[in-house]
Amino acid sequence: MRLRRSFVITVGAASALTLVVAQPAFAADRTWTGTSDAAWSTGVGWGGTAPTDLDALTFAAGPRSTYDLGNRTFTSLSFEATHEVANGGGVITVGDALDVGADADVLIAPQLTVPDSQTWTVEEGASLTLPSLVRVEAASTLRLDVAGTMTIGAAGNLDGLATACVTKEGPGVLNILGGGGGLGACPGQAAGLHVQDGVVAVGEAQIGGKDFAVTGGVFAGGTVATPATVHALALSGTGVVSPGAGNGSGFGAVALWGTSAWTGGTYQVDWDVDAGTSDYVYGDGQAISVSGTVLDVRLAGTPEVGDSVRILGSSIAFSGSFSASDGTPLVDGAEFTSNGQVYTVAYLTQGTASGVTLNWVRAAPQQPGDDDGDDDGDDDGGGDGDDDGTGGDTGTADDDELAATGPSEVARALLVAGGALAAGAVLVTTGRRRARIRRA
């Protein structure tokens, strides 16, 4: 409804002017109840009247509608039922909030713009798919509270213009499958998408312009065959970096195009010694530093003394050291126990082979009250690598044989030999057997 307000202005003693000022329309609550596809402009599905600027929109039914209103701003979008919004032309600006109710599956095809700070909610059992650009204006904060699943499609882009703060909250999964648009730093954090809870999975995305700051929850993605590429990856707090598909349960590799600092959190490494496959993070022309990050190894297969694998690398420089689960710093050659197995680590700090090699030493002694006697982590979701594309070539050359006999010597030989490896290639030695290169 539009209001008209009149003002009477007296001019002199005998005349008066009536000034009519048009007031803005009240924002209305509009509900889509249509059961078949229709254009928004026709009013069909909206009870006969098409929505206008600042209306609050609720989708209570209907499998599909087509947005064709051009560039408009709506106060909020709320989905109570499964619904697809097709793109008939125009950009939707979400003024205040977007909500997807429990068990609803929603796809919004038009470009979305976020002009001010707000929260988008995807409730448990629900999904939200965004195949186009999501533009978050500068100086805004977008909170993604995801208990279900939210996906930025391969052709989409979550772009904060290198200044906006975007946070991932809630126990659900945020998939970012495309779009390298830059995000700014949230207060007190490194630049990038601030991961606080749940899972952020990047699949095999090549998003070298996007940073991530993981202070809680899990960052996952990449496969051995096709490493994911991101810009800087910061890790701290209770955050976890766990490369691979299946939210980190598979084997994977992640290439970094920005200098990255890990100052806490956990690096969760899956390693199958029989398949010669492990998780791997690699600084492609970028340095990596580690301090206070716990090394958590999930082992599969039957290891032998001398089995080693490169788990983190840089083509420029590595600095710092990992920590054991109790916080003890792991100096070069130090032994530590993870999930019932004893390992050592070796560091190489300079040159194209910089990085960290993990060496298996022995199974840890059985602890009192340990029912299975080994706590080897076989049931912790480490995965067996069957679905991660590890069936690629394994090359063995005559000059790959290692003369070193001790785990630390083997590790150093591996680091030097691995200097020319590209991101995603994992160099493995298996005890008395020859060194092998598992190519991406």
Mind listing the pLDDT tens digit for each residue in 153-168?
999 999 999 999 999 9
pLDDT at 171 over 50: yes
CA-CA-CA-CA dihedral for 292, 293, 298, 299, to nearest 10: -60
Q: Which of 277, 294, 278, 287 is nearest to 256 (CA)?
A: 287
| DSSP run (H or E) holding 168 | strand 165-169
- The amino acid occupying position 399 is D
418: which DSSP letter? G
Q: What is the mean pLDDT of residues 179-203?
A: 97
pLDDT digits (tens, 9 = 90+) for 65-104: 999 999 999 999 999 999 999 999 999 999 999 999 999 9
SS3 200: strand
pLDDT digits (tens, 9 = 90+) for 11-55: 444 444 444 444 445 679 999 999 999 999 999 999 999 999 999
Beta strands in 276-414 (DSSP E): 277-278, 280-283, 288-300, 308-314, 318-323, 335-338, 341-348, 354-363, 394-395
Query: For residue 231, what are the contacts with CB-CB under 8 A and spacing of at least 6?
Result: 180, 182, 192, 207, 208, 209, 210, 211, 256, 257, 258
DSSP readout, 20-50? Answer: EEEPPPPP-EEEE--SS--BGGG-TTTTTS-
Is the Cα dihedral 319, 211, 163, 77 positive or negative? negative
Query: For residue 372, what are the contacts with CB-CB under 8 A and spacing of at least 6?
Result: none
Q: Can you tell me which residue has the tokens 């200044």?
A: 163
pTM: 0.82
Question: Where is average pLDDT lowest: 153-157, 311-315, 372-376?
Answer: 372-376
CA distance 394 to 438: 5
